[in-house]
Structures are given as C-alpha cells and as structure tokens.
Amino acid sequence: MGRWEPNASGRLREAALDLYVERGFEQTTVAEIAARAGLTARTFFRHFADKREVLFAGSELLEEHMVEALDRAPEAASPMEAVGAALDAAAGTLGRNRDFSRRRHLVIVANGELQERELIKMTRLATALTEGLRRRGVAEGDARLAAEAGVAVLRVAFERWVTEPEERDLALVMRESVERLRSLTR
C-alpha cells in the first residue's frame, strides 16, 4: 500500500491521518476529512462508521491474520513458536506502510480515549491468541501467558519500529524482541 491509493477508502484514510496529525483527532470533523479527500461525507460513511474507525479498521484484519497464522503453525510447534508465527503475520500486515503506522501512532499516543481503545483492541487480540492456543491443546494458564507475552512483544517491537530513525524490517524487530524476552526470563 503506497501513500496515495487511488481508491476512496485509501484517500479518506490518508486525509484523516493528515488532519489528525495537523489539528488533533478531537478537532477534526468528518466533513473536513471528506473535503480534504475531495469526496463527500456520504462517501466517508460508506467506508467508515465514524472518524475513530479510520484508525481501528485495520485491527480486525490484524487479529484475523494473526489467528490464521497461529492456527496454521505446524502441530509440533511449541506455544511460543506458534505465537512467533502470529507475530510474523502481524509484521506482514502492519509492516507494509511505516509512514501510515508512524502517524497513526502519533495520533493515538496524543489522545487518552484513543489509547484506551487501542489497549482494548490489544486485550481482545490477547484473548483471541489465547483461544487459538487452547485449540492447539495448550493448557489455559500457559496459553494466556504465551499470548500476553506475544502481545507485549508486538507492542514493544511495533513502537520501536515506528520510532527508530531508519526503517527496518518489522518482522526482524519482532524476532529481536522475542529473543530479548527469552534472555530476560532466562
């Protein structure tokens, strides 16, 4: 996904992000987003339920990709190996457009309500990964610990990736974080 997508939803997303960064999330209206994208508010609402949805529409997709990767991991994979497969999938989804991710991150950390929303999405993700590990036959406590550890890695690695001056491969940054967690708990 390049920065200038020809489709309406991509244009709306870029316009929204630009305005959220320039003026703040609270101060931006749907009418302004649509105008900036050269579209109507009506078109906006065909793509997004509200202005917050622009930032979180990707979260369901992220969860879907991660759970799919977890389910597809070889039967012999350990819980953390299966979580590692889910993190690779997350890197594939989140790592495509660092400029978008970086700006989205700036908008979210600047707004308490958005931070809470993001937090809730991360908790849902941990629950989905826990359930995925349970389906693989992992015991409840282990499943939750591995899932929570995976989400912690995701958050720490993602934040490092968006804030580093040079762009690196997100999957690599995630694997480094898994490795750090391993040596921390050793």
- Name the minimum Å distance from CB 146 to its own copies: 5
Phi/psi region, residue 110 (left: phi>0; alpha: psi -120 to 50; beta: rest), is alpha
Asked whether the beta carbons of 70 and 125 are under 8 A apart, the reply is no
120: left (phi over 0), alpha (psi -120 to 50) or beta: alpha
- CB nearer to its own copies: give 37 or 143: 143
Is the distance from CB of 109 to CB of 115 less than 8 angstroms? yes
Whether the Cβ atoms of residue 30 and residue 45 lie closer than 8 Å to each other: yes
Written as one letter, the residue type at 79 is P
What is the smallest separation between the CB atom of 180 and its own copies, expressed in angstroms? 6
Q: Which two three-digit tokens encode residue 151?
A: 């989400």
Contact pick of 119, 131, 135, 167 for its own copies (by CB under 8 A): 119
Residues 77 and 173: their CA atoms lie apart, in Å, by 21
136 vs 160 by CB, closer to its own copies: 160
Q: Which residue in 74, 137, 141, 165 binds its own copies (CB under 8 A)?
A: 141
Instruction: Tell whether residue 160 is a contact of its own copies (CB under 8 A).
Output: yes
If one asks whether residue 109 binds its own copies (CB under 8 A), the answer comes out as no
The piece of 10-18, 41-49, 53-61, 78-86 that touches its own copies (CB under 8 A) is 78-86
Positions in the binding site for its own copies (CB under 8 A) = 78-80, 116, 119-120, 123, 141-142, 144-146, 148-149, 152-153, 155-156, 160, 177-178, 180-182, 184-186
